[in-house]
Amino acid sequence: MTLKIRVHFLAIFLASCCFSYGLVAQSAIQDAIVLNMQNWQKLHNIQDYNKAIVQAEKALEIATNANDKKAMAQALNSIGLSLIKKTKRVKKSRKLAKEKFEKSLFYLASVKDQSLRISNLENLKWLAERENNIEQATVYNKQIIEIQALEKASAKNEALVENKAVLENKVNQLAVQKKVLSKKVKSLSQAQLESELLIALQKNQVDSLGFAITKDSLLLHQKELIVAEQASKLALQESHIDLQNSQIDLQKSQRNFFLTLAALVGLVAIGIFARYFESKKHNATLQSKNEIIEEERKKSEQLLLNILPVVVANELKINGTAKARKYENATVLFSDFINFSAIAEKLSPERLVYELDFYFKTFDTIISNYKLEKIKTIGDAYMCVAGLPEENPNNPLEMVKAALEIQSYLTALKMERIEAGEPYFEARIGIHTGPLIAGVVGSKKFAFDVWGDTVNVAARLESKSEAGKVNISSSTYDYIKSSFNCVSRGKVPVKNKGEIEMYFVEGLTS
């Protein structure tokens, strides 16, 4: 064996050893995690929660070193379950438990484990209820319902896919059976026809033989009785024979015709019945497929309506494009959180995203009550428009009402968060009324957006607003001044816009 071959075999042997070692090491890590989680379960069941937490933390440490996110999420969930069971320093334990459940949810973002996700949400809901935070508990409950609904929809889709495959298999089997039956029908019909023809031929032969015997007997009898008239009678008999032969030929032709006609009618009838049953089965399969297609179409339409306004979505479905439109009287709202960057630095990434989602979902609910159109969020900024896609002359009133309700909600939530020692956000809101252009941009990911100086002015009004205040322009003030109490701020200098007359909205007039 040459040196090159020996080196080659040695390399293969070392690679095999390394691979085997990796498998053994990975198996050892999993065994260690399982052992610690089993110890946690035993200690948790006997209510020795402190030792149970230690075992779960060991499992978390091993899973973190192995970058096993599912095991990390499970260990964090187990720590949280033991923390909420502790009877000493309850408030601190529950706060730590909440952090563990939220962190577990963060790791589950890239892992499919809906039961563990629901467990985290249910415990977070329980903690929120203990803190009398009904709104937070409602949010968790809504997320649980959404996950359960998604699971049901996923199971239903899998069942539909399985049913579709079964139906397609049955259709293929029926097609094969149809071909086999068609061949059998054709072969049986041909055999029957040949049999009938053979029987008719044999019968004709028998008839001919009987006729011949009768003819011979008659000739002999005539010869014995009337010898003198033999010639004339023989001539008469020959004429009768010709007539009988003609009648036999006619009967034979008629019999063959009717047999052939009967065979053809039978084949046509069999074909019609086979076609009828095949069409019936095909129609049933087609109806089932059409129902599946209709369900998928409804899901696609609902998704499109979540992205675009109804009028714009319908135009896009009908024409394939949505034309941009100019609106002479629309109202734009900008909202921005104060000191967002400073607060964000103190929060974990998952907590920060959770807080933004919590606040913006509430904003969505408020503006939907006033039939306003959300445009987008950019970081901690929130933008919506009133008066489109369908024009509404009262849109400034609706927008100001929604803005005051948002500020009222943020103020109430601020008091609750201060009492609980938790972070909170305050917002500036700016509103301006004027002309703008709205339309759909993009070809793969549609986005409904607005453009124009009205949008820029609204953004400037937001930047010049204050915490808890609704700052409006003079154009918006002209529409709402008879319905709301407003405080003039005079003309305020604005970047690239000169001076703009502004007002703070205090509330509805009494």
Domain count, the chain: 3
CA distance 323 to 150: 35
Q: Token digits for 307? A: 């992205």
Distance of CA 118 to the CA centre of its chain: 20
Question: Which residues have CB under 8 Å from 103's CB, separation 6+?
Answer: 76, 348, 350
- Give Cα separations from 312 to 185, 307, 328, 371 (angstroms): 59, 10, 18, 15
Q: What is the pLDDT of residue 112?
A: 81
Q: What is the pLDDT of residue 181?
A: 63
CA distance 448 to 440: 5
Same domain, 282 and 327: no
- For residue 143, being part of any structural domain is answered with no
Task: Tell me how long the chain is.
Answer: 510
DSSP 110: G
Q: Please identify which residue in the block is written with the tokens 């601020």.
A: 414
Q: Token digits for 384? A: 């919506």
Same domain, 457 and 332: yes
Q: What is the pLDDT of residue 208?
A: 64
CA distance 111 to 99: 19
Q: What is the pLDDT of residue 497?
A: 85
Q: What is the pLDDT of residue 182?
A: 67
Same domain, 462 and 332: yes
- For residue 399, being part of any structural domain is answered with yes
CB 381 within 8 A of CB 340: no
For residue 506, which phi and psi values (nearest 5 degrees)? -90, -35
The per-residue pLDDT for range 28-45, each reduced to its tens digit, is 888 889 999 999 999 999
CATH number for the domain that contains residue 355: 3.30.70.1230
Residue 326, beta-bridge partner list: 437
CB 404 within 8 A of CB 476: no
The per-residue pLDDT for range 177-231, each reduced to its tens digit, is 777 766 765 665 566 656 656 775 677 676 667 656 766 766 776 677 666 566 6
Query: What element of type H or E holds 208?
Result: helix 134-225
The average pLDDT across 373-390 equals 91
Same domain, 280 and 368: no
Per-chain mean pLDDT for the chain: 82
- For residue 108, being part of any structural domain is answered with yes
Same domain, 278 and 344: no
If one counts every other C-beta atom within 10 angstroms of the C-beta of residue 113, the result is 17
Q: What is the pLDDT of residue 361?
A: 94
Q: What is the pLDDT of residue 195?
A: 67
Same domain, 351 and 282: no
Residues 294, 298, 303, 304, CA torsion sign? positive
- For residue 386, being part of any structural domain is answered with yes
Q: What is the pLDDT of residue 223?
A: 73
Q: Which domain holds residue 112?
A: 3-132
Same domain, 198 and 89: no
CA distance 484 to 478: 11
Same domain, 342 and 266: no
CA distance 296 to 466: 47
- For residue 94, being part of any structural domain is answered with yes
Q: By CB neighbour count within 10 A (0-12 exposed, 13-18 middle, 19+ buried), where does 253 fall?
A: exposed
Q: Please identify which residue in the block is written with the tokens 């952090």.
A: 99
- For residue 232, being part of any structural domain is answered with yes
Same domain, 301 and 418: no
User: Residue 383 pLDDT more than 70?
Assistant: yes
Q: What is the pLDDT of residue 153?
A: 79
User: Residue 444 pLDDT more than 90?
Assistant: no
User: Residue 413 pLDDT more than 90?
Assistant: yes
For residue 132, which phi and psi values (nearest 5 degrees)? 60, 25
User: Residue 6 pLDDT more than 90?
Assistant: no
The average pLDDT across 141-155 equals 85
Q: What is the value of pTM for the model shown?
A: 0.44
Q: By CB neighbour count within 10 A (0-12 exposed, 13-18 middle, 19+ buried), where does 297 fall?
A: exposed
Q: Token digits for 236? A: 């008469």
DSSP 71-85: HHHHHHHHHHHHHTT
Q: What is the pLDDT of residue 286?
A: 76
Q: Please identify which residue in the block is written with the tokens 């209709």.
A: 294
**Per the omega criterion (within 30 degrees of 0), is the bond before 349 cis?**
no
SS3 348: coil
User: What residue type is assigned to position 404 of the chain?
Assistant: L
Highest mean pLDDT among 58-72, 163-177, 238-252: 58-72
Q: Where is the domain boundary, 79, 113, 132?
A: 132
The per-residue pLDDT for range 461-488, each reduced to its tens digit, is 999 999 999 999 999 999 999 999 999 9
**CA torsion 350→354→360→362, rounded to 10°?**
180
Q: Where is the domain boundary, 79, 108, 132?
A: 132
CATH number for the domain that contains residue 116: 1.25.40.10
Same domain, 299 and 392: no
Q: What is the pLDDT of residue 64?
A: 92
User: Residue 246 pLDDT more than 80?
Assistant: no
Same domain, 100 and 207: no
Q: What is the pLDDT of residue 21?
A: 52
User: Residue 132 pLDDT more than 70?
Assistant: yes
For residue 478, which phi and psi values (nearest 5 degrees)? -60, -30
Q: How confident is the model at residue 8 (pLDDT cuts 50, 70, 90)?
A: low
Q: What is the pLDDT of residue 77?
A: 92
- For residue 312, being part of any structural domain is answered with no
Q: Where is the domain boundary, 272, 305, 338?
A: 305
The per-residue pLDDT for range 274-304, each reduced to its tens digit, is 787 777 777 777 777 777 767 776 665 655 5
Residue 436, beta-bridge partner list: 327
The per-residue pLDDT for range 327-361, each reduced to its tens digit, is 999 999 999 999 888 888 888 999 999 999 999 99
Q: Please identify which residue in the block is written with the tokens 């009222």.
A: 408
User: Residue 257 pLDDT more than 80?
Assistant: no
- For residue 378, being part of any structural domain is answered with yes
CA distance 34 to 54: 14
The average pLDDT across 121-129 equals 92
Same domain, 245 and 365: no
